[in-house]
Amino acid sequence: MFSRLTALAGLGGASLPFELGEQQPCHFGSWQHYRGTARADGASVSVWRLAATSKSDARLEAGRHSVKRLRMTRHPGVLGFKDSLEVEEKGEAVLYLVTEPVTPLAEVLRGMAGADREQYLGMGLSAVVVVTQTLDWKLAHFDLVSEHQFASQYDLPLAAAAWLLPPQYKAGEVAKGDWQSVKDGPAWAVDAWGLGCLMQEVYSGAPLARTEDLRNTDCIPKDLLPHYQRLLASQPSRRLNPRAILEAGVLRNRLAEATSFLESLAIKDAMEKDSFFKKLPGLLPSIPTLVAQRKLLPMLASAIEFGGAPPAALTTLLAIGKTLPEEEQTKQVVPILTKLFASSDRGIRRGLLENISSYGPALPDKVVEEQIYNHVAAGFGDANPYLRELTLKSMAVLGPKLSQKTLSQSLLKHLAKLQVDEEASIRANTTVLLGNLAPNLSEATCRKVLLNAFTRALRDGFPPARVAGLKAIVATDKYHGPEDAATRVLPAVGPLCVDAVHEVRASALTCVQHFTRVLVEHNKVLEKQAAAMADSEGAAAGSRGSGAAPGASGGASLLNSFGWAVSNLGLGRGGPADTGKPAGGGAPAAAAAAAAGRGGSAAPAAPAAAAAGNGWDNEDDGRDDMDSGNAGE
């Protein structure tokens, strides 16, 4: 019967096109249920195993019938067939059926309670009885499926293998073996009885132990009770057609309506889609979380990716994603987002960027660097100012995940251009972002870039941009040494102390006070170093004693004489001498000052601007575009 029957016989499990995993609870007669993995592609599958001592065993015949029916049936409500195989194992005839991965319905229902359970039952009772990974209910195991109009009972699988069905599930005519009544009754009569049994089990939360339990109606919802009772009519001709339940709408609820709409999205018009997706965020709290995660999330992702859903659907997708643990977000949501970031649809890009603070932290650094950043960076040059600003703000989340090379060679170039953007708010926010990203930049890049960028902001005509520059200078003070404070910061900030805008003046005064304290502390360090040097030279002179050469005075006395002469000169001229040159040139104290200000280097370093290699690094040469080269590496 099957094309694969036996070249593999007797070779055992090693010959099978799948690997058997853990055995699962099973409620399907003689079938055993296992988790499995397809050898070809590693995909998850369900493997059903039916063993018998003889190839002619009635259970095996029924199993073959089930496989045949399942192979021939393709329907959204029927379990997806993948493969089948019959082999001999240790003297037994074994039939394997491979399907899409599923879980018995009873196992899923154990994890639900209250309103969530009732909504889920309403959604699922239109199809039974195994549950897929997306929590869809599907029909499975067609061992007893039969043509309604059969030639004789000997051609009726239901008659041949009715003994496989436990007695509490048998309709009266089946229990009696009255096959003529089965044939004369409606085509749905036997299945209607089975649906009634299923309703009893799922609403009561317990397996049906005996036929009499069907009289227990306390657990059945009131709206459904009349239909339930008609499904279980003793006479086949009086049983309710299950279709009538769907048409009556008694199983309809928010979850069922939402899933039904998404499943038929392709035939909905634009107005229907817009209305549905605007309402969906409000419906989400009433939908069972597990169903939203495993059912709605994949459906929304598919709808957005292939163009069936408007950008508004992205809000719901991201809201569901928030309910997942971080590890599951990485597995389920990140691949979706990676695809969506590549979209040219501005609505989708806008939705992604507006919500990036909610999902961005869960994005792996490698994914951001290799798959997302380049798509997002295209927004820096977008003609729409709002999208440029959203792109800029997204870097507060994505920027720390980028490599030094990408930060210095790509992102900083974009920020340099945005700092002269025509939109004032973008200019101000660029300065704020750069200050926040400073800890993620290399120290060399910070010393070359930051101060030039922030002093550029001080000349901006937009007051918040000037405030941002002032606050950023203070926040990144560790990258601005005493020389920068004296020669670059205070001269640039000073004029803003009389700015017409109060907030600018206040920020400027705070900045001046901060760096004045920096210089005062630096001066204390220099004084201590100078005193230590004088003590060292005095000790050396004392050790030489009277052996000192005539006219060669000790260092201490030279300093005292020099100090006295300058004091008198100052008094004679009414003030300190001014040579027109920086004080302290060539003196030991100057060397110490340079060492303290530049991490111990004996020679004074040139101001940062002199060693620059880009627009922000060479603010005075008229270039605005930044190219930081390899400074960050």
Query: CB atoms < 10 A from the CB of 114, how many?
Result: 8
Can you say whether residue 104 is alpha, beta or left, with left for phi > 0 and alpha for psi between -120 and 50 degrees? beta
Measured CA distances, 483 to 421, 455, 488, 490, 595 (Å): 31, 15, 8, 10, 11
Residue 198 falls within a domain, yes or no?
A: yes
pLDDT at 81: 93
Per-residue pLDDT band at 126 (split at 50, 70, 90): low
Does 414 reside within a domain? no
Residue 65 sits in the same domain as residue 148:
no
Number of domains making up the chain: 3
CATH code at position 17: 3.30.200.20
Confidence class for position 625, pLDDT limits 50, 70, 90: very low
Same domain, 151 and 84: no
| In the predicted structure, residue 2 carries a pLDDT above the cut 60 | no
The reported pLDDT for the residue numbered 615 is 52
Mean pLDDT of 359-378: 90
Average pLDDT over residues 160-165: 79
Weakest-pLDDT range from 33-42, 114-123, 496-505, 594-603: 594-603
Structural domain contains residue 398: no
Q: Is residue 441 part of a domain?
A: yes
What's the pLDDT score for residue 385? Answer: 94
The confidence score (pLDDT) of residue 213 equals 94
Instruction: Give φ, ψ of 208 to 5 degrees.
Output: -75, 115
Clarify whether residues 519 and 620 are in a common domain. Answer: yes
Q: Are residues 90 and 150 in the same domain?
A: no
Report d(CA 216, CA 196) in Å as an integer: 12
Domain residue limits at 227 = 144-248
Amino acid 592 reads A
What is the amino acid identity at position 79?
L
Cα–Cα nearest to 48, from 35, 60, 38, 61: 35
Question: Residue 457: pLDDT above 90?
Answer: yes
Query: What is the predicted pLDDT for the residue at 503?
Result: 95
Kindly state whether residue 133 falls inside one of the protein's structural domains: no
How far is residue 44's CA from residue 31's CA, in Å, rounded to a whole number? 19
Q: Are residues 22 and 98 in the same domain?
A: yes
One domain, residues 488 and 620: yes
CA-CA-CA-CA dihedral for 288, 289, 291, 294, to nearest 10: 180
CATH of the domain at 497: 1.25.10.10
**Residues 172 and 39 placed together within one structural domain of the fold:** no
- 627 pLDDT band (50/70/90 cuts)? very low
Do residues 48 and 149 share a domain? no
Please indicate, yes or no, if residue 379 is contained in any of the structural domains.
no
Least confident of 123-127, 278-282, 316-320, 438-442: 123-127
For residue 256, tell me if it sits in a domain. Answer: no
Residues 197 and 50 in one domain: no
**How confident is the model over 243-287, as pLDDT tens digits?**
999 888 888 888 888 888 988 888 888 899 989 998 998 888 888
Select the more confidently predicted residue: 77 or 625: 77
The confidence score (pLDDT) of residue 151 equals 64
Q: Which of 67, 195, 44 is nearest to 140 (CA)?
A: 67
- Indicate if 482 and 608 belong to the same structural domain: yes
Quote the pTM value.
Answer: 0.59
- Looking at residue 161, its pLDDT comes to 76
Q: How does the average pLDDT of the chain come out, rounded? A: 81
pLDDT (0 to 100) of residue 164: 80
| Residue 33 sits in the same domain as residue 94 | yes
Q: How confident is the model over 200-228, as a mean pLDDT?
A: 92
Last residue of a domain, one of 86, 102, 118: 102
Among the three residues 213, 248, 283, which one is the final residue of a domain in this structure?
Answer: 248
Angle at 551 between CA 550 and CA 557, to 5 degrees: 120
pLDDT confidence band for 603 (50 / 70 / 90)? very low
**Could you report the per-residue pLDDT of 44-76, keeping only the tens digit for each?**
999 999 999 999 898 899 899 999 999 998 888
Q: Based on the fold, state whether residues 70 and 178 are members of the same structural domain.
A: no
Q: What is the structure's pLDDT at 509?
A: 97
pLDDT at 336: 85
The 8-class DSSP code of residue 325 comes to -
What is the four-CA torsion angle of 423, 424, 427, 428, rounded to 10 degrees?
A: -150
Residue 197, in any domain of the structure = yes
Would you state the pLDDT for residue 359? 81
